[in-house]
Amino acid sequence: MFFLDAMAVPYRLLFVCLGNICRSPSAENIMNHLIEQAGLGDKIQCDSAGTSGYHIGEKPDRRMTQAANAQGIEMRGRSRQLEPSDLEEFDLVLAMDRSNYDGILALDRSGQYADKIKMMCDFCSEHSDTEVPDPYYGGADGFKYVIDLLMDASQGLLDKVVAEEL
């Protein structure tokens, strides 16, 4: 007898910021790091996208990559723009800030997917931020802070997904 659950579809997370070169690829790669450490690579998949098309095809920002590497996180991937089909394909869509959240909602004209669109900072346990700040125009401290903030939020998100979805 063949069991379909052996081929169960993984839970899918999509991280979204403006250009998909700083915050959302960092969240994606941090989450992938935590998933790998937890041995859940076959159960959870991650991707990231930007609400704009400014940087399509580009690698993550070098300053973000340096900040992530300093904490043992390898940055992979290339920027892509958020598509309406992403709202159907992913189980949870995580916005880095309110503007990103509003941009995601704008793609969901019917309101059908609103319940799966969340703010990334909602999963923080150590930080009180409500949004992940965009470090693009700042200095190295801003990139390091974003990595720390996303480490906190990603761990909280992973804990919630494991407890409620797996």
23 given a catalytic annotation: yes
Nearest residue to 160 via CA among 120, 127, 128: 120
- Tokens at 139, concatenated: 């200095």
Neighbour tally for 92: CB within 10 Å: 17
134 given a catalytic annotation: yes
- Tokens at 119, concatenated: 């703010």
Given the residues 22, 23, 61, 152, select the one marked as catalytic: 23
- Residue 75's contacts (CB-CB under 8 Å, 6 or more residues apart) are 25, 26, 29, 59, 60, 64, 65, 68, 69
Q: Do 74 and 106 form a contact (C-beta atoms < 8 A)?
A: no
17 given a catalytic annotation: yes
Query: 3-class DSSP state for residue 99?
Result: helix
Given the residues 61, 97, 134, 152, select the one marked as catalytic: 134
Buried b (16+ CB within 10 A) or exposed e, 36-46: eeeebeebbbb
Q: Active-site positions?
A: 17, 23, 134
